[in-house]
A = this chain, B = another copy of it.
Amino acid sequence: MARRIRRSTGPLDLRSQAILRAVIEEYVTTATPVGSQALVDRYRLGVSSATVRNILAELELAGLLDHPHTSAGRIPTDAGYRWYVESIIDASPLPEVEQLMIRHQFGQVEFASEHWFRLAASTIASLTHAAGIATPAKPAAARVRRVDLVSINDQLASLVVVLREGSIKQSLVTLPGPEDQETLTTVAAVLNDVANDATAARATAALVRLNPATPHAALVMRVGERLVRVLEDYDRAAVEEVFSDGLLNVLGAPEFAHSEKVRRVFNALENRAYLGELVGSVAESGVVKVFIGHENEPPDMREVALVLAPYGRRDRAVGVVGVLGPTRLAYPEAIGTVRFVSGLMNELVDHLYN
């Protein structure tokens, strides 16, 4: 008993670490509780199953392992996974072959950020056999690069806004009366002048200062207000969009064999608010972050793990790529893949900004 207390409070000795690692890696591949005999058989531990049992009991006391019932093998707890992730997070590069393969795939698609997100999500999904997720790079505050106003019919015009990082927003504007395209082009030109490189706040300020003698001043104001709203809407959303791919991979995992759990996972992915929060935290930190089971706040995410990495530049725009899977995730591969893809996305975004 005294021995146990000592072990459970102090750091793990090397042998305990090796055994914990073995349990986790075995469980990740087999998805069944791991017994002491299986460990001795499959790993060169150099001790008997009885000794292993003693250590398993200690690891369980320390909260790193659990067992579903008396006569079952051990499974890792979220805390066990956490320890494991900490121990490997700094050293899990993606094998070079796969790096080359991914680079090749990115070389194949058209040079357009939208394609990248999809590709990032699907690449991650196929490499990790879990769900891949990716969000577009989003700046803290949208800035206008260009405004265009296209006539649709007598009462409607389409306001097209190109943002600084190249993404596009569109909104239909109802016109007070019929206007020809020429007038609309003039209005767009005024807005391009007034709101050039402006954020929502600055665009608002510029509109207030607008010279009332400007041609079509009323229309400029009307469209300008809509422009500001488009920018504000964009800024308000924490995450613009979450691309995901390979959800079926997660579905295939035995822990999600029953549809009730599947339901939760899907709910989780729909949980934009929480994802937005995570994206923010990950973008802030600038490094790969892992969120395991109960470390996630929403109850629906208590059975999944997320590996997220930011890309982009904090002073410009940031997005996130990552993996969503069962807590029984192949963490080293997931971390390696996500880290590599985020680096690649960095390069691409850098190229966009020069």
Question: Which of A13-21, A97-105, A245-253 interfaces with chain B?
Answer: A245-253
A352 lies within 8 A of B146 (CB) = no
> Which of B162, B251, B353 touches A160 (beta carbons < 8 Å)?
B162
| Chain B residues whose C-beta falls within 8 Å of the C-beta of A354 in the assembled complex | 153-155
Q: How many Å from the CB of A146 to the closest CB on chain B?
A: 5
- The answer to whether the Cβ of A262 comes within 8 Å of any Cβ in the partner chain is yes
Q: How many Å from the CB of A250 to the closest CB on chain B?
A: 10
A353 lies within 8 A of B153 (CB) = yes
- The answer to whether the Cβ of A186 comes within 8 Å of any Cβ in the partner chain is no
Q: A172-B112, A263-B252, A266-B248 are in contact. Are A158 and B153 (CB under 8 A)?
A: no
> Which of B111, B148, B166, B251 touches A259 (beta carbons < 8 Å)?
B251
| Chain B residues whose C-beta falls within 8 Å of the C-beta of A267 in the assembled complex | 248
Q: How many Å from the CB of A301 to the closest CB on chain B?
A: 16
Q: How many Å from the CB of A240 to the closest CB on chain B?
A: 13
- The answer to whether the Cβ of A156 comes within 8 Å of any Cβ in the partner chain is yes
Q: How many Å from the CB of A297 to the closest CB on chain B?
A: 21
CA distance A267 to B252 in the complex (A): 13
Q: Please, which residue of chain B has its CB at the minimum distance from the CB of A229?
A: B110
- The answer to whether the Cβ of A28 comes within 8 Å of any Cβ in the partner chain is no
> Which of B113, B153, B259 touches A262 (beta carbons < 8 Å)?
B259
Mostly, the A contact residues are mixed
- The answer to whether the Cβ of A274 comes within 8 Å of any Cβ in the partner chain is no
Q: A248-B267, A259-B262, A353-B153 are in contact. Are A162 and B148 (CB under 8 A)?
A: yes
- The answer to whether the Cβ of A50 comes within 8 Å of any Cβ in the partner chain is no
- The answer to whether the Cβ of A88 comes within 8 Å of any Cβ in the partner chain is no
CA distance A263 to B252 in the complex (A): 8
| Chain B residues whose C-beta falls within 8 Å of the C-beta of A170 in the assembled complex | 112, 114, 166, 168
- The answer to whether the Cβ of A256 comes within 8 Å of any Cβ in the partner chain is yes
- The answer to whether the Cβ of A12 comes within 8 Å of any Cβ in the partner chain is no
Q: Please, which residue of chain B has its CB at the minimum distance from the CB of A354?
A: B153
- The answer to whether the Cβ of A152 comes within 8 Å of any Cβ in the partner chain is yes
- The answer to whether the Cβ of A258 comes within 8 Å of any Cβ in the partner chain is yes
15 A/B residue pairs, CB under 8 Å, sorted by A: A110-B172, A111-B172, A111-B174, A114-B170, A146-B150, A150-B162, A153-B353, A155-B354, A158-B166, A160-B162, A248-B263, A252-B259, A258-B258, A258-B259, A262-B262
